[in-house]
Chain A
Amino acid sequence: MATNAGTQPPAEQTLFVRKASGLIKGWSEGDGFRYSFFSVNLFLAIWSISYATFIPGGSLFWSIVITAAFIVLEIIVYAGLISAMPRAGGDYVWQTRIFHSAVGFVICAVGWWFILWLWTPIYADMGVQTTVKPIFRILGLNGAADWLGSRTGIFVASLVVIAIASILVAVGMKAYAKFQKWAMWIGLAGVLVCGILLLVTSGNSFKEKFNAAADKYYGGDKGMLNLQKYKTDASGLFVYDDAGALVNDGTQQYPGAFEATEAIGAGTGMPTSTFAGGFSWATWTLIPFMLFWMAWPNWGATLYGEVRGAKDFRKNVYQMLGGLLVPTAISLAFLGLMTWKVGYQAFMGTMAAFWWGISPIGGDYISPTAMISWIVPNAAFQVILVGAISLLLFGWFGTLFLSSTRMIFASAFDRILPESAARVTSGGVPVVALVLMTIPSIIMAALYAYTPIDEGTGVTVVKLFTYDATLAIIIMFLGSALAFMVMRWRAKAIWDSSSLPKGGIAGIPWMSIIAAVYSAFLVFNLYLFIKDAIYGVNNSKSAIFMAVLYVAALVIWLSAWVTRKRQGMELETVAKEIPVE
């Protein structure tokens, strides 16, 4: 084709499209990132960091870094699954399609539906300890704060979480996305304020303000301040009596609440550096605790597009990566600031104080957001700051039921659950699915609050199963990782149609290799969960609890299989591939 001198021919197109519906040019990365960011929640980070006090020999910093590195593999696996098979129902659809209807349903019913009932009181407990109780203390509502820590208080808080989660599902994705947007920006503004406060406050000033606030909110005639000194041995560790209780050091007291937590840090064996422990076995055993916070960037939303491409895969990766790395960076920055100002050991002492039951501030959890807010001795400011940051937790509540309802819908479409499970009101409210979440969540919350106290740990039996909430989901992720690993062979048409990178080595795609490494990481964590009592789940009660869930799921599937068989319908054919030739 002749061209005029000085002009360039137009760049060649690689695709010529015609006028046809569904062709869209772009979609918002912001929403996908936001969903992932909320899922790798900063409040879960606080909780995970506090769990690190159970294994003081491990390096918290390196456990976070190692976990993040493996979660990048998770992101690649899930971005791949989402771009190859972008269907509502996610893990359930992938595992059903690639393995078998029963496998997909049983694993995902437990992982996306049943176990979220347990997350309800966990969310409530976290919200109470990190946010509501500290606010109540600031406001002088000590009766209410004490009540919240009671069995009934936790139960009622769980009911509030259930109500919030239900409302967020009922209002629909559009309104929820708007709420999440505002919640994120306000919450991050609060985090920024906390960062600035830490930067401009000296360590000594922080300690003075901490003591002053502790005295104001817990001391004096409130009588909740406990500055009792405990005996230590030659190495500075606490001494325990034959019954396993700490030994009082006579009538001696610490000068202030902060000095008490400093001593708790030393006495419970917290290291002086977050790097101590390096890449030791102890560091690796911290990873299951970090998964409690970091395993979730793959809860990001998907958007179905028509002329999709590798960009979709990359977009999914970037969004989830952002959702992982931003909260990780914030958490590490926060850890760094606290270490700089008050010392790592003292900071970890504030965490250990709660779990050892020796918190100097009335036994309360020493909320990091609250203690930073105490830098400014103004109750209104403290309440606003703590409340603002708490939106990062409340903005996350909607995910509690949203993912479950999708899984319930998919199962109903596949006829494992009755058609009515997918019923939606004229206003778009998935009433039956919500009932299938709310009623069992209420029951689980009651069990969490009212089951007997486990003597060894001082928490209720069901609260002891907190890590089952992670375990069940890790098992489900393993199912999806294995599905992705074998997609090239088990769902060849889908693999070939996808925009996934197809390169590999010795005939094995790189995607399969990545999935295999990620699967091995998950198996490693499952091994730790099952082997070590420190995670609270390698006991017979937890095993029975998990067994009940999986058996219940299997019973549902088998009942559906028998029922449908009698109706002349085979469940397996729903997802069985139609022959092409």
Chain B
Amino acid sequence: MSVRLFFATDVHGSEVCWRKFINSAKHYEADVLILGGDMTGKAIVPIVDEGAGNWQYTMQDVPHTLRSEDEVVANERLIADHGYYPIRMTHDQVQDLTAHPEKLDELFEREMRGTIEHWVQFADERLAGTKIQCIVCPGNDDADDIDEILATSKTMTVGEGNVIDLPDGYQLVSSGWTNLTPWDTPREEDEPALKSRILSVVAQATAAPERLVLGLHAPPFDTQLDVAPKIDWESLTVKGQDTAHVGSTAVKEVIKEVQPLLALHGHIHESRAAERIGRTLAINPGSSYVEGTLSGVVVELDGKSKVKRYRLTMG
């Protein structure tokens, strides 16, 4: 009996991408939905009260003036679709935050939690009564506290640090932690610690390697899955056309040692690719969340020991 998985990753707070992810099971006729890491957004867009029913915000360097409540609501959705958190504010509040950036942490935490709660509710409504298995795993950009919110879901399972049974005897081992990045994100660590973390979860798996799926947010180092623009870590600027391999050596070592059937990765949005590492098929479907498109991959497992077929998708 073959099993069809749909894997997407790095939705980064995009409301439209989350909705597409939940709806993708029906669209692709998938048995299992897996969301790789980085679920939360990166920025807050203040919608500023200009008085007399007018509001103003700037997104992607374009200023927008809104003249009615309906327009504000519609634009809040547009901002959310882009992966940002829209918050209505007064000028004073914006100036306060500008002057006191330390207050942003609390604001981000509130918005991220609120969005995840809303997403859980949406998923539970859509997936209730279906036989679709849905696993979500936060990534390096996601704060720790969203795991507990995700765990309240009646239809989704949290992948981080867990071994999850999939249909037909397959198992999924997931971790959203990555190797070190220039941005000091919540879930990153050095390679030895990362390898230790991953192996400790893999050790709990009971499935044979040919029935094992690894969902590791960091892609394996020095492959087609981890090519990113080369960045100066101090100034966070890109060096022309230079690219660099930024994946994890720990992840690559684990894949080489364990040789699972399938390895699913994200983290590097530009590196949409698939590559074999020994007998393991490693895939990074990339991410196009900024344009509201859900990049993903449909993988069919043959019920025995092979990947029957896979195709990268852009929905």
Which A residues form the contact surface with B (CB < 8 A)?
Answer: 1, 9-28, 30-31, 84-88, 93, 97, 173-174, 177, 301, 303-304, 306-311, 413-415, 419, 422, 424, 428, 493-494, 496-499, 501, 567-569, 573-581
Contacts and interface: CB of A to CB of B under 8 A. Distances in A.
A309 B291 contact: no
Contacts of B184: 19
B238 A97 contact: no
Contact of A499 (B60, B105, B315): B60
Interface stretch (B90-98, B127-135, B199-207): B90-98
Contacts of A501: 62
B220 interface: no
Given A24-B237, A569-B298, A580-B23, 19 more contacts: A1-B96, A11-B98, A17-B42, A24-B231, A24-B236, A27-B240, A28-B238, A31-B240, A31-B241, A177-B242, A303-B238, A309-B62, A310-B61, A413-B274, A422-B273, A496-B78, A496-B81, A573-B313, A576-B315
Contacts of B28: 573
Nearest to B139: A21
A19 B185 contact: yes
B58 interface: yes
A150 B296 CA distance: 52
A28 B242 CA distance: 10
Interface residues of B, number: 80
B73 interface: no
A87 B62 contact: no
Q: Most chain-A CB neighbours within 10 Å: which of B48, B108, B293?
A: B293
Q: Most chain-B CB neighbours within 10 Å: which of A14, A25, A27, A567?
A: A14
B294 interface: yes
Given A494-B292, A569-B309, A25 B240 contact: no
Interface stretch (B164-172, B251-259, B264-272): B264-272
Given A18-B108, A414-B312, A419-B274, A25 B236 contact: yes
B313 A177 contact: no
B99 interface: yes
A308 B238 CA distance: 14
Interface string B32-63: 00000010001111101000000001111111
Contacts of A414: 311-312
Given A28-B241, A574-B314, A580-B23, A21 B267 contact: yes
21 contacts: A12-B91, A13-B98, A14-B57, A15-B45, A16-B44, A21-B185, A24-B231, A24-B236, A27-B238, A85-B291, A88-B270, A173-B241, A174-B242, A304-B270, A422-B274, A496-B78, A496-B292, A567-B309, A573-B27, A577-B293, A580-B23
A177 B241 contact: yes
Contacts of B300: 568
Given A21-B140, A25-B237, A499 B291 contact: no
A424 B224 contact: yes
Contact of A579 (B23, B58, B231, B313): B23
B141 interface: yes
B291 A177 contact: no
Contacts of B59: 14-15, 309, 499
B116 interface: no
Contacts of A576: 27, 315
Nearest to B297: A413
A580 B19 contact: yes
B181 A21 contact: yes
A16 to B, nearest CB: 4
Contact of B20 (A424, A569, A580): A580
A414 B84 CA distance: 30
B16 interface: yes
Contacts of A581: 19
A24 B105 CA distance: 20
A493 B293 CA distance: 8
A28 B273 contact: no
B41 to A, nearest CB: 8
Question: What 5 A-B pairs come out closest when comparing CB atoms?
Answer: A309-B61, A499-B60, A578-B315, A309-B60, A14-B58
Nearest to B242: A174
A497 B292 contact: yes
Contacts of A13: 46, 94, 97-98
B208 interface: no
A497 B81 contact: yes
B181 A18 contact: no
B267 A578 contact: no
Contacts of A15: 43-45, 58-59, 84
B34 to A, nearest CB: 15
Interface string B260-304: 000000010110111100000000000010111110001010000
B57 A493 contact: no
Contacts of B290: 306, 308, 497
B55 to A, nearest CB: 13
A30 B16 contact: no
Contacts of B298: 569
Contact of B235 (A25, A27, A88, A578): A25
B110 interface: no
Nearest to A575: B314
A37 B26 CA distance: 47
B61 A413 contact: no
A496 B184 CA distance: 32
Nearest to A424: B224
A86 B286 CA distance: 12
B103 to A, nearest CB: 10
Given A304-B270, A574-B312, A10 B99 contact: yes
Contacts of B311: 413-415, 569, 574
B241 A20 contact: no
A24 B273 contact: no
A23 B95 contact: no
B95 A413 contact: no
Given A422-B274, A424-B275, A304 B61 contact: no
A19 B313 contact: no
A304 B19 CA distance: 24
Interface string B101-144: 10011011000000000000000000000000000000011000
A319 B186 CA distance: 37
Contacts of A12: 48, 91, 94-95, 98
Contacts of A307: 42-43
Contacts of B272: 88, 413
A414 B295 CA distance: 12
Contacts of B240: 27-28, 30-31, 177
Contacts of A9: 95, 99
A241 to B, nearest CB: 57
Nearest to B10: A22
A10 B276 CA distance: 52
Contact of A301 (B62, B98, B183, B241): B241
B161 to A, nearest CB: 20
Contact of B141 (A21, A415, A419, A424): A21
B229 interface: yes
Contacts of A84: 291
A310 B184 CA distance: 28
B211 interface: no
A25 B235 CA distance: 8
A306 B288 CA distance: 10
A493 B16 contact: yes
B23 A16 contact: no
Nearest to B275: A424
Contacts of A85: 288, 291, 293
Contacts of A575: 313-315
B196 interface: no
A30 B269 CA distance: 23
Given A10-B99, A575-B314, A578-B24, A19 B44 contact: no
